[in-house]
Structure 1
Amino acid sequence: MSDDDAWDAIFRSQPDTARPEQGAPAAPAAGPAATGAAAAPASRAAAREQTGAGDRRSARQMLDEDRPPKRRRAWPWVLGVLVLLLGLGGGAVAYAWANYEPQLREALGWELPNDYEGGGNGTEVLVTIMPGEIGSDVATSLQESGVTMTYDAFYDLLLADPSIAFQPGTYALQEEMSAQSALDALLDPANRRESTATIREGLRAGQVIDILSAATGVPIADYEAAIADPAALGLPAEAPTVEGYLFPATYTFEPGTSAAAQIQRLVSETFQRLDGRGVAPEDRHRVLTLASLIQSEARLEDDFYRVSRVIQNRLDDGWRLEFDSTAQYGSAQADGSVFSTQETLDADNPYNTYVIEGLPIGPIGNPGDLAVDAAINPADGPWLFFVTVNLDTGETVFSETVAQHEEGVAQLRAWCRDAETSACG
């Protein structure tokens, strides 16, 4: 007989009935013996009657049959295992361990624990619960990531309390946590890890990626690569850059979210906002370009709609827009002054509305909801000019004639003489 056959023979020889748990009383056997000592006299009487009736079995034999079968002792089985472990070669032992490890551990009293103790070993592990995952998925993730020792230790807790529910997200746990500690940590919102970035209205693309990088820790170079190909992000063919398409809002990102995925989320948000206002895909670029000009020039809510009307009236009359904001964007004048330099005003670029006809080639910043709404719904009015005369309050004068507009510019210059601000140049 081979070593492997010897092991199989030993395990086949064991009783099929399960042994009672250690420390628990044996279950009573079925039959008369289960009723206790009172059953004995009746059994003896029956034995005498059967004997008198010609039954060739003795009363002793019948009483023995009434008794529950003796439980087989475990020590011969353990002894056999030990003999084989000592006498057989390493290959046979390896075979037995590979095929009968649970039985061997039980026989030798070497059962392994299925749960850690305490709150972990101090090594952080990020565990992500995806939308739609159920308790078994979470139990698997915890075990595979080294947080819990076994699947069963954690899943048994869920079976005991069906009301437990998890929120999708990424959570900071530790290696080697007890199942209960891991469960408590997943139910504590303080352990959720995410990055939050707030993008204000009117910021330019470069400023947006600076904020995203600072919030998430993703390198600037990754964002620069992500915005390098506008077409890959789904932007219209006429969009020269992502400018205008990074919608201003507050965003949260799970750890590990790539720069490309973050940028795509901002772009998708822009499309959703435009779709919600009924803007056709072929009109997206024009509306965002208009909205970016309004966002850059207006200060007060009502003025957003008046500035939109000035733009529309000038375009309808065939006038150049002559917006300092577009001229400065095209020439990269970044001194923060409301007054453009002569060099900026004369620069020949597709954004300089002092030089080109109509709208610039694309947005000059990232407009918010108010500016988009104003671009779609300009106020009614005859204005062709406007100028902000108080940079602190945002007070703006709207005019119909050049003379009225020049009076407004004079008001601004007077305010600048009394104010201490770099915005006046």
Structure 2
Amino acid sequence: MNDSRLSDSIFGEGEDRGQPAGKLPDRREPAAQSRAQARDMRPFAQADNPEGPNRRNRSCLVMALASVLVLGGFGLALKTVGTDLIPSIGAGRSGGGDYAGEGTGTVEVKVKPGDSGHAIGVALKEAGVVKSAGTFASVAGANPEFSKVQPGTYKMKKQMSSQSALNLLLDPATRMSKGVTVREGMWVSEIFATLSKQTGVPVAEYKKVDPKALGLPPAADGKLEGFLFPSTYEFEPSATASEQLKAMVALGKKQLNQLGVPADQLRKTVIVASFVQGESRLGADGAKVARVIDNREEKGMPLQMDSSIHYITQKRGTVTTTDKERNDNSPYNTYKHPGLPPGPINNPGLEALKAAAKPATGPWLYFVTVNQETGETKFETDYGAHLKNVREFQAWCRNNPGKC
């Protein structure tokens, strides 16, 4: 970067124009009779049948043992099948058995959230994977690893043994769901492109979705920016654009609720968090940036943060802006308009949201990242001291062309 470019940066402007806060890069036992009870029964048996006490005693003992065996077997089935006990017994009466081997061909089977072992067995049986839902439920119930089976669509084979089917369900490679990672600080336009690339759904389909149909909180004001929560999502191959966005909104609402931010403060918190995400490397600096925003607002100073300009231009790659870009009339231009912009300027992650919800305590009004590689950031209350830090930043940029 040459000096003329740096002179266009926000850091070279005079205090009478309202000095910038700073610049940073964009960035889951059955009841049975005991021996004592059996002994206690003998006198009564003998008194009732003096002609054949031994025969009646033997009869009672046989019945007691039979009761123990039946009830003991019931307990074993309960332990093996769990809540699938009754369906499993029914399946057994209608025909059980099992295939042998690892099967042939391919078939897709969907495991739904909350499915029990028997429910999965039914889905497998209907798809021709296993011979008996009850047999599969018994095999699954006897394996402690079964609890690791996740909802999703699985590529299975036909006519598999129940054990082989379970083995495939436990193999992550069998699961066909799409894993998509949405990074913190991305714009909605970037999120659409990322989702489209990973799932194959055209970008146009995401643009057609009505945000108001996604369950957004009132604080979103019917707009997606700021409320598509960054995370790694696993979507079914058939998931529509609307279903994918709805999942992101739902997770975002859950995270926001856990922060305990009052409803009337939620929109401001998300907007501030978007600046924290765009202007800092987070850590302790995130909460300090949030405090700078609050302090400048209280003093009536414009925020003057370049991340808002980058949002307007929808351009990445630099941490500085030009005079022409800063002269844009967009309501999101924090150089021309005081206070917070109308809405968030990106989709912040949980750490940024936490920083915005609980800013650090301090009098800072300015900050600048003096080293774009290490992220070293200096905060100041005095403008003169801030200018000294700005010159350090400018020197770093001159010594590292193309990185500012």
- Which TM-score band (shorter chain)? 0.5 to 0.7
Task: Give the aligned residue type for 2:193.
Answer: D
* Residue 330 (structure 2) aligns with: 349
Cα separation, partners in 2 of 1:325 and 1:240, compared to 1, 3 Å: farther
Q: Against the structure 1 CA distance between its residues 351 and 242, is the aligned structure 2 distance closer, same or farther, given a 3 Å change threshold?
A: same
Evaluate the alpha carbon distance shift between residue 132 and residue 402 of structure 1 in structure 2; reply closer, same or farther with a 3 A threshold. closer
Looking at structure 2, the residues matched to 168 and 350 of structure 1 have their Cα atoms a distance apart, in angstroms, of 45
Distance in 2, Cα, partners of 1:132 & 1:231: 25
Spell out the pairing of 1:120-135 with structure 2 (5 A cutoff).
120-122=103-105, 124-135=106-117
- The aligned residue for residue 254 of structure 1 is 236
Which residue is equivalent to 2:339? Answer: 358
Q: Counterpart of 1:409 in structure 2: which amino acid?
A: V
1:168-222 CA deviation, whole Å, 9 max, x = no partner? Answer: 4232112444555434433544423322222222121222233333333333233
Distance apart, 1:316 and its partner CA: 0.4
TM-score (norm 2): 0.68
Give the match's secondary structure for 2:294: helix
Unaligned runs of 5+ in 1: 1-112
How far did 1:120 drift?
3.6
Task: Please list the CA deviations of residues 288-319 of structure 1 after superposition, one character each: whole Å capped at 9, or x if unmatched.
Answer: 00000011111251211211111111100111
> Residues 180 and 308 of structure 1: is their aligned pair in 2 closer, same or farther, counting only changes over 3 Å?
closer
Work out which of the residue numbers 393, 396, 399 in structure 2 matches 1:418.
399
2:250 match: 268
- In structure 2, runs of 5+ residues without a counterpart are 1-95
Identity %: 39
Residues 188, 224 of structure 2: 8 Å contact kept: yes
CA distance in 1, matches of 2:216, 2:107: 35
Q: Which amino acid aligns with 1:147?
A: V
Q: 1:221 to 1:177 in 2, by over 3 A?
A: farther
Residue 137 (str. 1) matches residue 119 (str. 2): yes
Contact 2:370–2:389, Cα closer than 8 Å, also in 1: yes
Give the match's secondary structure for 1:276. helix
Q: Which residue of 2 aligns with 1:40?
A: none
Aligned residue identity for 2:381:
E
Does residue 367 in structure 1 map to residue 342 in structure 2? no
**Aligned partners of 2:178, 2:312: CA distance in 1, in Å?**
33
Cα 1:416–1:155, aligned 2, differ >3 Å: closer, same or farther? same
**Per-residue displacement from partner, 1:237-257 (whole Å, max 9, x unpaired)?**
663631111112222233323
Residues 1:125 and 1:282: Cα distance change in structure 2 (over 3 Å): farther
Aligned partner of residue 233 in structure 1, secondary structure: coil
Corresponding position: 1:221 with 2:200: no
Q: List per-residue Cα deviations over 1:34-65 (Å, max 9, x = no partner).
A: xxxxxxxxxxxxxxxxxxxxxxxxxxxxxxxx
Contact 1:313 1:383 in 2 (8 A): yes
Which residue of 1 is the match for residue 175 of structure 2?
Answer: 192
- CA deviation string 1:50-95 (max 9, x = no partner): xxxxxxxxxxxxxxxxxxxxxxxxxxxxxxxxxxxxxxxxxxxxxx
Supply the AA of the counterpart residue of 1:384. L
C-alpha separation between the residues in 1 aligned to 2:140 and 2:299?
72
Q: 5 Å matches for 1:177-326?
A: 177=160, 181-226=164-209, 228-230=210-212, 232-236=214-218, 239=221, 241-326=223-308
Q: AA paired with 1:413? A: Q
CA distance in 1, matches of 2:237, 2:345: 31
Letter in 2 for 1:337: T
Task: Name which of structure 1's ranges 184-193 and 258-267 shifts more when overlaid on structure 2.
Answer: 184-193
Distance 1:159-1:175 versus aligned 2 partners, 3 A rule? closer
1:394 to 1:145, Cα distance in 2 relative to 1, 3 A: same
**How big is the shift at 1:286?**
0.9
Closer, same or farther in 2 for the Cα pair 1:231/1:398, shift >3 Å?
farther
Q: Which has the higher contact order (CA 8 A, sep 6+)?
A: 2
What is the rounded CA distance, in whole Å, between the counterparts of 2:331 and 2:112 in structure 1?
46
Q: Does structure 2 retain, via aligned residues, the 8 Å contact 1:309–1:379?
A: yes
Letter in 2 for 1:145: A
Asked whether the 8 Å contact 2:287–2:358 carries over to 1, the reply is: yes
For residue 387 of structure 2, what is the aligned residue in structure 1?
406
Contact 2:216/2:227, CA 8 A, preserved across alignment: no
- State the distance in 1 between where 2:331 and 2:134 align: 63
TM-score normalised by structure 1 residue count: 0.65
- Alpha-carbon distance change, 348 to 240 in structure 1, aligned in 2, over 3 angstroms: farther
Partners in 2 of 1:295 and 1:156 — Cα distance?
52
2:361 pairs with 369, 380, 384, which one? 380
